[in-house]
Chain A
Amino acid sequence: MKMVRVIISFWVLLFVNVVSAGVDDTVWQNELKAQFFAGRSISEAENIIAIEAPYRAEDAALVPIRITSKINQTNDKYIKRITLIVDKNPIPFAAEFNFTPLSGKADVAMRIRVNSYSYVRAIAEMNDGQLIMVKKFVKASGGCSAPIGADLDAAMKRLGRMKFKLPSTAQSNEPNLAQLLISHPNITGMQMDQVTRIIRPAYYVEKVKVTFDGQPVLTAKTDIAISADPNFRFYFVPQSAGDLHAEVSDTDGKTFSQTYRVEP
């Protein structure tokens, strides 16, 4: 009898450990899957996209995530959309990126907030509607780290500043990497400003649209899980010289834009 109890408590302990470490799919299985992909089947496979994330979030406010595609974007077969979800965040939907054949490669890198031990998952939707998912488990950081930008005044002062960063030489007719930096505090809601005593709603970048010579390259819908000063890396294919143009809008309806001249 005593032995049995020892064994049982051992299993209970083991179970508790696993649950508290949070390596579980339950939020996804029970809620999120139906919420975002009701009635659709999603296969888990590594042949379309891969996701890179640090096993431990060094800074809860800024966790680099990189999604790389394993197929080229062609008119016949391309990745239409990648949705990024952080299971255990207060708002699990992080972003949705829409690509076109003109994107060249449906790669995208960004920085996100990870509040708790959680899976970060990317779901790719093909142009024929097929859904393929990859995921990585991220351990939340401990200590004083919080999923908040460190220097709010600096971010507010720079609000709306944007820049493109590209390698010095561009190659025509092949995928070129571009980085877009957007200065925005991306504040989570509910906090109160002590000076004005105003409760602010969340204030964040919600739309990003990048075109090359007027043709869409990347269109993103983003939410509060994106770190302060949103930063995206992606590809585009220039046939000849042209303008890389970004338009960004936030939840207050403010819009910001930036143009970069590309000369292959």
Chain B
Amino acid sequence: MKYTMLLCLSLFFSLFTVLSQAQTKETFEVQKIAPGLYFHFGHHELPNRENHGGIANIGFVVGKSCVAVLDSGGNPQQGLVLKNTIEKITDVPICYVINSHVHPDHVFGNRSFKGKGVQFIGHKNLARALQLRSAFYLQRSEEQLGVKLTPQDIVLPDIMVADSLTLDLGGRLLTVTAHGSAHTDNDLSVLDKSSQTLWLSDLLFVEHLPVIDGSLKGWLKELKELSLLKVKRVVPGHGPVMGDWPAALKPQVDYLTMLLKEVRSMIKQGKFIEQAIVEAGQTAAGRWALFDAFHKKNVTLVFAELEWED
């Protein structure tokens, strides 16, 4: 009798907790960078078991009839919090989730947006990149992020962009552009015409060391074209929103160009990759956050790319 009573009580309380959680859905801070355009700032950290991979800038655009999500976050929970935040700000339904590229901090909130009426948009190479990498990302998710990701977390795009695509959010047009191999081989940028804002995601790094996971030469080429656009502001994948375009691009272009020159000349001198990894580009240390975490990886990739030049 006593136990039944206790059981009932505890059931009651757990039910109560569930209900109260449902009523106060977790949200996070977002900044309004233009009317109907919001972003959540990602801190310059490596993905780890404390931040669970929620380290990138993510955001959303609100039109009259549709909301488009700009990257879903680094884990399902962050995706859910982003969704809650959107629903708190507007009643307009979410129609699109745009995945700027394959990296975990940009796509692993996807699962929380799955549902009727929501379409996922990615570069034509995104599905392939997810297929190639996801087994590895899932396998290490628990150890690295403290979150057990499952195949449910791999959401392949419904709409694949080969060139460019215009989305009508209702009185608001977004141009989604697929780029050649740059930060990765599946990068998208998004131009919000009404606010003249260019959402570059990881095509632009500010303060945080640019990370090469595609092609150095390709990236420099894409940046040259992007620099010609007339926009009021750009949003990087990591770092603050920048107003001065294309001047905001300079530190990144300088770093990438320096890498190109130094590694190219080391290859010409007959130096090996082991030596380049240790020596190349070290003068840039101190100018960037997370230099030690990513610079040697960059040199590795650049060396492997440039040794096929001649």
Given contacts A66-B274, A161-B308, A193-B128, A147 and B136 within 8 Å (CB-CB): yes
Q: 20 other contacts beyond A59-B301, A116-B139, A141-B297, with CB at 8 A cut-off? A: A20-B143, A58-B297, A59-B300, A62-B300, A64-B272, A144-B104, A146-B132, A148-B136, A150-B301, A150-B305, A151-B214, A154-B215, A183-B308, A190-B135, A194-B128, A194-B131, A194-B160, A231-B273, A231-B307, A233-B272
Contacts of A191 in B (CB 8 A): 128, 131-132, 135
Q: Say yes or no: A151 contacts B211, CB within 8 Å.
A: no
Task: Let me know if B307 and A181 touch, CB within 8 A.
Answer: yes
Nearest B residue to A168 by beta-carbon distance?
B270
C-alpha gap A54/B296 in the complex (Å): 11
Which secondary structure characterizes the binding site on chain B? Answer: helix
Q: Does residue B255 face the partner (Cβ distance < 8 Å to A)? A: no
A187–B61 alpha-carbon span in the complex (Å): 38
CB pair A58 B135 closer than 8 Å: no
A35 to chain B, nearest CB (A): 22
Q: How far is the CA of A19 from the CA of B166 in the complex (A)?
A: 51
Residue A158 CB within 8 A of the other chain: yes
Judge whether A142 is part of the interface by a CB distance below 8 angstroms: yes
Number of A-B pairs whose CB atoms are under 8 Å? 109
Q: A92 CB to closest chain B CB, in angstroms?
A: 15
> A58, B300: Cβ atoms under 8 Å?
yes
Say yes or no: is A33 at the interface (Cβ < 8 Å to chain B): no
Interface set of B (CB-CB < 8 Å, partner A): 46-47, 103-105, 125, 127-128, 131-133, 135-137, 139-140, 143-144, 156, 160, 181, 184-185, 211-215, 218, 270, 272-274, 277, 293-294, 296-297, 299-301, 304-305, 307-308
Complex A-B: 20 CB contacts under 8 Å = A64-B272, A66-B274, A142-B144, A144-B211, A150-B181, A150-B185, A150-B213, A150-B215, A151-B181, A151-B215, A151-B305, A154-B215, A167-B270, A191-B131, A193-B128, A194-B128, A194-B131, A194-B156, A195-B128, A231-B307
Q: How far does the alpha carbon of A191 sit from the alpha carbon of B297 in the complex, in Å? A: 24
In the bound complex, CA of A62 to CA of B133 (Å) = 15
Using CB atoms, name the residue of chain A closest to B218.
A151
A141, A151, A193: residue with the most chain B Cβ atoms closer than 10 Å? A151
Task: Please indicate which of the listed interface residues B144, B160, B272 has the most CB atoms of chain A within 10 Å of its own CB.
Answer: B272
Partner of A146, one of B133, B212, B294: B133
B-contact bits for A101-116, CB 8 A (1 contact / 0 none): 0000000010100011
Interface contact A153-B132, CB-CB below 8 Å: no
Q: Which residue of B lies closest to A165 (CB)?
A: B270
User: Which A residues are CB-close (under 8 A) to B135?
Assistant: 190-191
Q: In the complex, what distance in Å separates the CA atom of A143 from the CA atom of B128? A: 19
Rounded to whole angstroms, the CA-CA distance of A52 and B273 in the bound complex is 13
A62-81 interface (Cβ within 8 A of B): 62, 64, 66
Bound form: Cα–Cα A192–B134 in Å? 11
A172 at the interface (CB under 8 A from B): no
Residue A115 contacts which of B128, B136, B144, B300 (CB distance < 8 angstroms)? Answer: B136
Q: CA separation between A109 and B136, bound complex, in Å?
A: 26
- Pick the residue among B47, B185, B274, B301 that contacts A143 (CB under 8 A): B47
Alpha-carbon separation in the docked complex, A115 to B133 (Å): 11
B134 to nearest A CB, angstroms? 9
Chain A nearest Cβ from B107, distance in angstroms: 11
**Of A144, A146, A190, most B-chain CB atoms within 10 Å:** A144
CB-nearest residue of chain A to B181: A151
Query: Are A148 and B307 in contact, CB atoms less than 8 angstroms apart?
Result: no
Closest beta carbon of chain A to B237's beta carbon, Å: 11
* A116 and B274 contacting across the interface, CB-CB below 8 Å: no
Contact of A188 with B by CB under 8 A: yes
- For residue A229, CB closer than 8 A to chain B, the reply is yes
Which partner residue on chain A sits nearest B274 by CB separation? A64
A150 in contact with B132 (CB, 8 Å): no
Q: Does A47 contact B (CB under 8 A)?
A: no
Q: Does chain B have a CB within 8 A of A152?
A: yes
